[in-house]
Structure 1
Amino acid sequence: MFNTLLFYVADPAISVDFYTKVLARPPVEQSPTFALFILDSGLALGLWRKDGVAPSPIHQPGACDLGFKVTLDQLDKIHADWQEMGVTIALPPTKLDFGTSFVATDPDGHRLRVYTLAEDGAAE
């Protein structure tokens, strides 16, 4: 079974440019209305032009997070890299009850949460 998370986007070309930079890889599939990235975990991230989705989406972007579990060193580097790329940071690196996390948003407002877990000893 192949698992895919779909983000509905206004302009797939703009989203492809954004995700190519933040994921440091090109999409494995791309058309004017859809693009597909394969994440390190094996999860596929689909970017689908929202005006072609049936049935129409009922929630706005930002209703959930796409999480990336990393080490604390990786978190700090990703945060610095994304800031340098001009990615919007909604929450800077912050110690939370589960560990350390920061949240960025893509051009459509989808939330990308990069985090460590305190139980791994990464956020202590």
Structure 2
Amino acid sequence: MQYPDLVILYVEQASQSARFYSRLFDLAPLAETPTFAMFRFASGMRLGLWSREAAEPGAEAMGGGGELAVRLDDAAALEACFDSWRAQGLRIVQPITEMDFGRTFVALDPDGHRLRAYVAAV
């Protein structure tokens, strides 16, 4: 069976983005070079950070065209995440809001990629 297990975000500086995501998720990269870093989450999903200049074929798009979504267990965890990300200096572009799919908020990483934290309604 085929299924996606890796999300790649194109970034300006892979090492700078790796430090950002290491702090954000309290997780060390599995691998890191000057142009690429790879993380693996407990769920098994992997996140790659690839320098836009080094990507083959060349990457044109940058942040904002999609979201990296983080599911949380409950409203208290969502509020704690919101407070933590705001304290770390992430730009919050959507405050905690009730949406059709549940409670959520959105922040941006240094390259403008959208980071959505949410608690599912179902």
For the criterion TM > 0.5, the same-fold answer is yes
TM superposition outliers: structure 1 runs of 4+ over 4 Å: none
Name the SS of the counterpart of 1:73 in structure 2.
helix
Residue 26 (1) aligns with residue 33 (2): no
Q: Deviations over 1:24-56 (max 9, x none)?
A: 111111111110111232110000111011112
* Structure 1 position 59, deviation (Å): 2.6
SS of 1:86 mapped into structure 2: coil
Q: Is the 8 A contact 2:18 2:37 kept in 1?
A: yes
Residue equivalent to 2:119: 116
Q: Secondary structure at the match of 1:52?
A: coil
Provide the aligned C-alpha RMSD in A.
1.4
| Identical-residue share of aligned pairs (%) | 35
Partner of 1:122: none
- The yes-or-no answer on 1:41 pairing with 2:39 is no
**What do the CA deviations read for 1:45-102 (whole angstroms, capped 9, x no partner)?**
0001110111122333111111111122211111111111111111111111111001
Q: Which residue of the partner structure matches residue 92 of structure 2?
A: 89
Please, which runs of 5 or more residues in structure 2 have no aligned partner?
A: none
Which of 99, 103, 106 is matched with 2:106 structurally? 103
1: CA distance, partners of 2:7 / 2:88: 24
SS of aligned partner of 1:47 = strand
Within 1, Cα distance between the matches of 2:94 and 2:8? 23
In 1, Cα distance between the equivalents of 2:62 and 2:32?
23
How does the TM-score come out when normalised to structure 1?
Answer: 0.89
CA distance in 1, matches of 2:79, 2:63: 25
Q: How many residue pairs were aligned?
A: 119
What is the CA–CA distance in structure 2 between the aligned matches of 1:9 and 1:59, rounded to whole Å? 10
d(CA) in 2 for partners of 1:67 and 1:41?
Answer: 13
Paired residues of 2:11 and 2:62 also in contact (CA < 8 A):
no
| Aligned residue number for residue 79 of structure 2 | 76
Aligned residue identity for 1:94: T
Higher helix share: 1
